[in-house]
Structure 1
Amino acid sequence: MFHQAAPCKSEESPEKKTGIEFCDLLIALTNSMRSPLCLPEHFIAVDWSGYPSQEYHILRASLICDGRSIPLLSRLVSSAKQNNLLIQKAFLDELHRRVNPKAKVILITDAGFQSAWFRHIKSLGWDFIGRIRGTVQFCLLHDDERWLKITDVRGKASPEYPGAGWLVRAEYARCSGHFYLHKRETRGRKNQRS
């Protein structure tokens, strides 16, 4: 059952209008989703996508429900500003304003996002599932003196849960979470990062 949503503030520039037309839909979806097809939590995938002209990238949030991805909010930015922390935080803040404050939200993000992104998600009262890679360090609570690099541990074909811990060694950037090790076989994609 949908109900009338509060009006959203509209901006005049086309760049700022991206996603505004979905505002009432987003509020209605997150306020009234009670379908048995969807979990009580709202799983929202957020990712950067290339735009065909390569001059722009799109930051998009999509609601995951019943095996489908429903676009909720998109932001078109110049390629030079892709992965810009200020743009990403503003995007999260806008999404947060539009989602039912009583909803339990779990954001699913890719490895391009860093610990500041994860900390901001937590500051909004949401949870996240994020992939990390590279030289990022973490430690587990049961062995909090031993910091490991992601490259120091090997995942297996089936996920393994080593425990809760901290992501990023620097205290100002640290983020708590639960770690799972998992390594898929390579899929032979072009331009694949290791």
Structure 2
Amino acid sequence: MIGDFLLVIPPDSGVVFEGVINDTTETTVKIQGLHKDFDAYYERNKVFEIRFILSRSSLERMHQYVQCIKQEHQESKTFPTKSKKVKKVYPISMFYNALIGNNVEQRMAVENIVSKTSGRAPYLLHGPPGTGKTVTVVEAILQLVQKNSNNRILVCTDSNMAADHVAAALVKYRTRFPQKNFLLRANSKLRAW
């Protein structure tokens, strides 16, 4: 993503250059901040090893938030205690995305979210890229809105790209929902268009 660091390693050189992703398209990534010595290693068709460095800023923000919650003694609002009452999970018969209905884990997640089995605590979906988290969240949103058209769902992401992905997936279903304001997409003012 834009702003992430990466390492560019010319073949058989033993040298590593650090850069920052400046812009992306479907087929290219623009890198800035490479040391001027990189020019000596660059050839148009040469293959370079690229290593992406995970941005720590979102993790640092999460840790900072948890620290603030502890300092303000507000843990019970963010981390509510588990209810002793077992909530019933209501099965869903019609899925907007048929693949969700055929995947046990995704189906179970959507049914638990819609049945509100976690109570006031968040229902967390976690997994590596490409495992279906976004389609699961989109299905849960659609099911919640179908269940009650007055439901309002706020989707927050750590990047514009992730929010775009969720919004694009939701827009595909807009004709099935008569609400005038089915979707509102807000953007960071620092967004690179």
TM-score, L = length of structure 1: 0.30
More helix, by proportion: 2
Larger radius of gyration: 2
TM-score, L = length of structure 2: 0.30
